[in-house]
């Protein structure tokens, strides 16, 4: 029986219920009747309200004292969020006027508290989103007066959506889905010997499969799919309440792509785009909902956007109308794309903390912040990123008056101190529009203005944090944040059976991570293991440094040219004593190390050392802590990586060395091949050997040409490395000829094989 690889976040906490009868007078804070459970962290607070006349009801939360709490003020014709601070009450936003007054029929209210905001739902519509940082735990209670009644308030702690399903299970296992008739898990060959042996097939008129919790909100859904037929409709449902109430991204062979709201069974199109799928081609379909904004993506590109305030929370669904739709690699996670087309107009959405207007989560890390701004005067721009607290953030300051006028600077605000960590000359012209892009990665940040690199810094404090402005002014026209979603390392995706090099030595060359390194003799006589392929731009190497003899040395070589260690940066690692680690950074043409560090380490234990190139910086992190940083004014332009060991007793297992680069795309085809577009032939996971059909890999077949193109477009230098073999043919003579089918084209136009450089094996009758 297979082990299922799907995960789901489960809510923590208890439901708490309390019936609140009306009181005869207007409620004061002292009259609150509290639930037994306190509210802490993220939660949903719901209640049913009825109005038999004029009056007021309050749904209190975050209550720490009569002078410190929040409440939702409920009146027959309006709702308002109120903050009581130091005994003074203030509305967090203008009251929301109800389209129809409250009446005797119960109306559901839902208050959603998240770390950085408050959201209010009424009658299944999102009425308000207010930026407000959660001050911590507090009591929850109710108070009523006059003709207002609050019934059965419920407190539900929530966790961010976290779900993944690759459908790795037996066909008769339903897994976490509630599906209509016609949904089955399909397998290819022996699943223990298949690159990707599981898919979820949906058929119906219509059909659906639903998963998740009713309190899920602000999420993105990714799903790979292909349609085996030319006709039909496929989609992803969001905030799914029931079959007659939900939001959806649909893709129809007749109507193209649409964002749709279905309420009471009636669909309403919010946005549409003409588009058609190609049968038997895989696509990565994504749709996100955040604060009433819908964003649809295909293969990572935004294709549709709309706004709709319906439902405010709900489950996830896969939708089909037709036959043979295949799904794989479904993921639900917190929203990864934030867009505000008019921040100053929506400033109530931005939390004001210490003069900084904030949006997003303090848990955000590894993102790109893009701001379009038109400064009207020389008062300056202040863009905040990596915000973790009022005295802990980074500030991009540009063109401000005073000593910093006419300069671009990145400041590190830490406690009472503000330190300039990057500085460059250059102001702006008032009235001109600029696109300012901040790339924020763990340990590194770079700022580009109108596409040109302006500033960068490598600082250990760059870990995570929200974004904002100091201040948010009319100059800020548009804000976009895109969070990076790191792919799974290929060594973690390979089918386990493939990596058993003892049993299958013929597969070791491509399946064993150690075989990604090739040993070569250097001119110095030392043995260097060079990583296959080229690594352009930023790259990191994580090495579990073993205990070394005092005379032993481990060298990691980055940005080398060819296979010459002397042309790259060399991180030289020694352990002069069991509890010491010494690190030096060498650069070609330098007569001495350009940077060095020494630190204590646990005796007689391996330690994790990450060596990286980030922009023009070379950095080293030991167990996650920065120990070395060097900025090269003239960075090297090599692209090779190597590891060299000298001395006795160096026991480094190359399988444990991890290399990461965002400029390398490594395909094991463990996931659906959504980055690849078939042009001719049938491309799918299929068995290779007719005598042993259980073994299966991704491949193509055709009576004539079988051609598949990568969907991405590459610029500049590139390297293509691939492992391929012919599918076994029943006729031995034909099988031998199949080795001529393993050809490749680079720099093509995606349509014509003769548009690029083609590498032909055994062409022209095996004469060239």
For 349-382, b where at least 16 C-beta lie within 10 A, e where not — what string? Answer: bbbbbeebbbbbbbebbbbbbbbbbebeeeebbb
Q: Which of helix, strand or coil describes residue 106?
A: coil
Strand extents, DSSP E, 484-532: 517-521, 527-531
Q: How confident is the model at residue 763 (pLDDT cuts 50, 70, 90)?
A: confident
Q: How confident is the model at residue 97 (pLDDT cuts 50, 70, 90)?
A: very high
Question: Which stretch of DSSP H or E encloses residue 493?
Answer: helix 490-493
The answer on pLDDT for 732 being more than 70 is no
> Which residues, 6 or more positions from 59, have their beta carbon under 8 angstroms from its beta carbon?
45, 47, 71, 72, 74, 109, 111, 142, 150, 153
Q: Which tens digit of pLDDT belongs to each residue from 682-721?
A: 998 888 877 777 788 888 988 889 999 999 999 999 999 9
For residues 31 and 37, the answer to whether their CB atoms sit within 8 Å is no
The answer on pLDDT for 5 being more than 50 is no
pLDDT of residue 744: 94
Question: Where are the chain's structural domains?
Answer: 16-157, 163-334, 337-483, 504-660, 676-766
Q: Which tens digit of pLDDT belongs to each residue from 618-649?
A: 999 999 999 999 999 999 999 999 999 988 87
Q: Say which CATH superfamily domain 16-157 falls into.
A: Exo-inulinase; domain 1 (2.60.120.560)
pTM: 0.89
Among the listed residues 283, 280, 274, the one whose alpha carbon sits nearest the alpha carbon of residue 229: 280
pLDDT of residue 198: 83
For residues 288 and 219, the answer to whether their CB atoms sit within 8 Å is yes
What's the CATH fold of domain 163-334? Answer: Jelly Rolls (2.60.120)
Q: How confident is the model at residue 730 (pLDDT cuts 50, 70, 90)?
A: low
Could you write out the DSSP letters of every residue in 246-312?
EEEEEEETTTEEEEEEEETTEEEEEEEE---PPTT--EEEEEEEETTEEEEEETTEEEEEEE--BSS
Neighbours of 582 (CB within 10 A): 15
For residues 382 and 363, the answer to whether their CB atoms sit within 8 Å is no
For 182-199, b where at least 16 C-beta lie within 10 A, e where not — what string? Answer: bbebebbbebebbbbbbb
The answer on pLDDT for 485 being more than 90 is no
Can you say how many angstroms the Cα of residue 566 is from the centroid of all Cα atoms in its chain?
38
The tokens for 751 are: 């349509």
Bridge partners, residue 224, by sequence? 284, 328
What's the CATH fold of domain 337-483? Answer: Jelly Rolls (2.60.120)
How far is the C-alpha of 252 from the C-alpha of 320, rounded, in Å?
10
For residues 61 and 143, the answer to whether their CB atoms sit within 8 Å is no
pLDDT of residue 189: 61
Among the listed residues 708, 653, 659, the one whose alpha carbon sits nearest the alpha carbon of residue 680: 708
pLDDT of residue 510: 82
pLDDT of residue 523: 79
Q: What is the largest CA-CA distance in the chain?
A: 100
16-157 and 337-483: identical CATH topology: yes
- Tell me which of 473 and 739 has the higher pLDDT: 473
The tokens for 288 are: 């996100």
The answer on pLDDT for 21 being more than 50 is no
How far is the C-alpha of 471 from the C-alpha of 449, rounded, in Å?
19
pLDDT of residue 15: 34
- Of 426-435, 486-495, 503-512, minimum mean pLDDT range: 486-495
Q: Which tens digit of pLDDT belongs to each residue from 522-568?
A: 877 788 999 999 999 999 999 999 999 989 999 999 999 999 999 99
Range 504-660 has CATH code 3.90.550.10: no
The answer on pLDDT for 18 being more than 50 is no
How much of the chain exceeds pLDDT 70, in percent? 93
Q: Which tens digit of pLDDT belongs to each residue from 156-195?
A: 999 999 999 988 887 777 789 999 888 888 877 666 666 6
- Of 87-96, 194-203, 387-396, 755-764, minimum mean pLDDT range: 194-203
Cα–Cα separations (whole angstroms), residue 141 to 60, 135, 523:
5, 17, 77
């Amino acid at each position: 029986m297979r082990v299922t690889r799907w995960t789901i976040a489960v809510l923590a906490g208890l439901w708490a219920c309390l019936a609140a009868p009306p009181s005869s007078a207007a409620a004061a804070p002292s009259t609150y009747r509290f639930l037994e459970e306190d509210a802490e962290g993220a939660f949903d607070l719901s209640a049913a309200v009825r109005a038999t006349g004029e009056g007021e009801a309050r749904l209190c939360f975050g209550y720490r004292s009569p002078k410190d709490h929040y409440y939702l003020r409920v009146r027959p014709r309006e709702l308002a969020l109120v903050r009581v601070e130091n005994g003074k009450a203030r509305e967090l936003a203008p009251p929301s006027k109800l389209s129809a007054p409250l009446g005797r029929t119960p109306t559901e209210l839902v208050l959603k508290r998240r770390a950085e905001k408050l959201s209010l739902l009424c009658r299944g519509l999102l009425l308000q989103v207010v930026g407000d940082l959660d001050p911590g735990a507090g009591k929850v209670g109710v108070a009523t007066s006059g003709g207002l009644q609050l019934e059965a308030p419920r407190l539900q702690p929530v966790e961010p959506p976290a779900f993944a399903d690759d459908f790795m299970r037996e066909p008769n296992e339903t897994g976490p889905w509630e599906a209509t008739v016609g949904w089955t898990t399909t397998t290819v060959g022996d699943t223990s010997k298949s690159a990707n042996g599981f898919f979820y097939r949906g058929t119906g008129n219509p059909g659906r499969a639903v998963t998740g919790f009713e309190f899920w909100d602000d999420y993105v859904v990714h799903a790979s799919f292909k349609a085996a037929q030319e006709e039909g409709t496929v989609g992803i449902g969001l905030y799914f309440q029931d079959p007659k109430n939900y939001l959806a991204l649909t893709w129809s062979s007749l109507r193209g792509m649409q964002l749709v709201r279905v309420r009471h069974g009636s669909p309403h199109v919010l946005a549409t785009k003409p588009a058609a799928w190609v049968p038997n081609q895989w696509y990565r379909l994504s749709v996100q909902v955040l604060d009433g904004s819908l964003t649809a993506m295909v293969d990572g590109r935004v294709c549709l956007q709309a706004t709709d305030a319906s439902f405010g929370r709900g489950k996830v669904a896969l939708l089909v109308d037709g036959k043979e739709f295949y799904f794989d690699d479904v993921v639900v996670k917190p929203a990864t794309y934030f867009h505000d087309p008019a921040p100053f107009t929506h400033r109530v959405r931005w939390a004001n903390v210490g003069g900084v207007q904030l949006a997003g989560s303090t848990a955000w890390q590894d993102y790109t912040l893009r701001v379009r701004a038109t400064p009207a005067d020389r008062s300056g721009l202040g863009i905040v990123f990596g915000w973790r607290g009022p005295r802990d953030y980074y500030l991009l300051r540009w063109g401000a008056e005073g000593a910093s006028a006419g300069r671009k600077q990145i400041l590190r605000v830490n406690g009472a101190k503000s330190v300039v960590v990057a500085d460059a000359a250059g102001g702006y012209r008032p009235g001109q529009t600029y696109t300012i892009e901040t790339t924020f990665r763990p340990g590194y940040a770079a700022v580009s203005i109108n596409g040109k690199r302006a500033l960068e810094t490598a600082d250990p404090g760059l870990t995570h944090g929200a974004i904002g402005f100091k201040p948010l002014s009319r100059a800020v026209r548009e804000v976009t944040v895109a969070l990076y979603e790191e792919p799974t390392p290929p060594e973690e995706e390979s089918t386990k059976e493939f990596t058993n090099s003892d049993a299958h030595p013929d597969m070791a060359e491509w399946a064993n991570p150690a075989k990604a390194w090739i040993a070569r003799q250097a001119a110095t006589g030392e043995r260097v293991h060079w990583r296959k392929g080229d690594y352009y731009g930023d790259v990191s190497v994580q090495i579990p440094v073993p205990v070394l003899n005092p005379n032993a040395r481990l060298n990691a070589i980055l940005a080398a040219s060819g296979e010459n260690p002397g042309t790259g940066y060399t991180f030289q690692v020694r352990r002069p004593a069991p509890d010491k680690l010494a690190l030096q950074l060498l650069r070609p043409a330098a007569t001495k190390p350009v940077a060095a560090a020494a630190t204590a380490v646990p005796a007689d234990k391996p330690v994790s050392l990450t060596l990286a190139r980030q922009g023009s910086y070379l950095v080293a992190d030991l167990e996650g802590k920065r120990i070395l940083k060097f900025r090269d004014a003239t960075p090297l332009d090599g692209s090779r990586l190597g590891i060299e060991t000298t001395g006795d007793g160096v026991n480094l297992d190359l399988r444990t060395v991890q290399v990461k680069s965002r400029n390398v795309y490594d395909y094991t085809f463990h996931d659906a091949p959504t980055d690849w577009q078939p042009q001719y032939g049938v491309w799918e996971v299929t068995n290779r050997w007719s005598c042993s059909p259980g073994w299966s890999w991704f491949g193509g077949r055709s009576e004539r040409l079988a051609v598949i193109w990568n969907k991405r477009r590459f610029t500049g230098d590139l390297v293509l490395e691939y492992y391929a073999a012919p599918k076994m043919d029943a006729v031995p003579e034909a099988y031998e000829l199949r080795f001529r089918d393993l050809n490749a084209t680079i720099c093509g136009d995606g349509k014509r094989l003769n548009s690029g450089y083609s590498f032909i094996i055994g062409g022209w009758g095996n004469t060239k």
